[in-house]
Structure 1
Amino acid sequence: MILGEIEARALEDAERRVSEEQAKTEREIRRRAVLEKAKQQAVQDQLAEALRGEAGRWREAAELGAYCDALERRLAELGSVPDEADPAASRRWLEWARGYVQTIDPLNRPRGMPTPHDPTPEELRPYLQGWSPDGSERRAGP
């Protein structure tokens, strides 16, 4: 009887260990899946930020280009009016401005796909669904 009880407890302990190991393996699989998805989302954020930056530089270049066009039209109007500002200085300013616009317009030198960096733990945190970004099994607090 005592031997049977010892054997039963040993079997229960072995089953418990197997069950705990399976649960640990399942948690690790879930954690890795969440981490992989978080990395993908963080990389998407990086690429979107690069795109927004390029679009902002493009908008600025378009706005400054429109200003240069308006300035050129105004200088043409003033060219026939005596005693206006120094037209040579105004033309130099316009020439410099057009050159500057060329340097900031991203469409003049289209870039390839940006190379994202490995997301930091802070970049991953919003997508980890409560998991800790340090790779541990514990859940991060709210």
Structure 2
Amino acid sequence: MASGALEEQLAEIAQEVTLRGQAAERRRQDEAEAARQKRIRWEAAMEQARIRYAEAYRFRHFEAQEAAWRHATRLTEYVSAVHTRVEAMPPGQARTEAEAWISWAAATVERLDPLNTPPRLPDIPNPRADDLKPFLGHWSPYGP
């Protein structure tokens, strides 16, 4: 009788070990699936962050072009005002030097004005991890 009870206990222990092993395997699979899903969500967040980063970069470039245009416009107005004054000067060394300055200033403004070249989208640099942080919400740029 004692050997029957022992065999029964061993069968129960073996069944318990099997059940615990199966439960541990299910937990491991569930954790692996949760990690996979989290990585998929993180990768999607990273892709969206790259898109938003590129748009923000383009917009900063756009604002810089507008600022350069305004600056060039103000400089052009100034060069024009100087030109009007110089035209009223009598011929001589001072006028010749002023006309040379006007030529230099006009050429400089020509180079500065973004409207003198066809507009194009800027090349977007590869963002560093820190560049993406503002676009990631609660996600880390280093991984899920």
Band of TM-score, shorter chain:
0.7 to 0.9
The 2-side partners of 1:84 and 1:56 are apart by 38
- CA shift digits 1:31-56 (9 cap, x unpaired): 11111111112222222222222222
Question: Partner letter of residue 117 of structure 1?
Answer: P
Q: Which residue of 2 aligns with 1:123?
A: 131
Structure 1 residue 129: Cα displacement? 2.1
Task: Give the fraction of aligned pairs with identical amino acids, expressed as a percent.
Answer: 29
The structure with the greater share of residues assigned to helix is: 2
CA distance in 1, matches of 2:94, 2:21: 100
Q: What RMSD over aligned residues (CA atoms) do the two structures have, in Å? A: 2.1
> Distance between the aligned counterparts of 2:91 and 2:76, measured in 1?
27
TM-score w.r.t. the length of structure 2 is: 0.80
Partner of 1:113: 121
Residue number in structure 1 paired with 2:99:
91
Q: Tell me how far 1:4 sits from its aligned partner.
A: 2.7
* Pairwise CA distance, 1:62: 0.5
Letter in 2 for 1:20: E
Give 3-state SS (helix, strand or coil) of 1:86's partner: helix
CA distance in 2, matches of 1:89, 1:68: 14
Counterpart of 2:16 in structure 1: which amino acid? Answer: E
Matched ranges for 1:5-24 at <5 A: 5-24=16-35
Q: Is the radius of gyration larger for structure 1 or structure 2? A: 2
Alpha-carbon separation, structure 2, partners of 1:4 and 1:34: 45
Q: 2:50 matched to which residue of 1?
A: 39
The unaligned stretches of length 5 or more in structure 2 are 1-11
- The count of aligned residue pairs is 133
How far has the Cα of 1:119 moved from its partner? 0.3
How much does 1:84 deviate?
9.4
The 1:99/1:83 distance shift into structure 2, 3 A limit, reads closer
Q: TM-score, normalised by structure 1?
A: 0.81
Q: Secondary structure at the match of 2:139?
A: coil
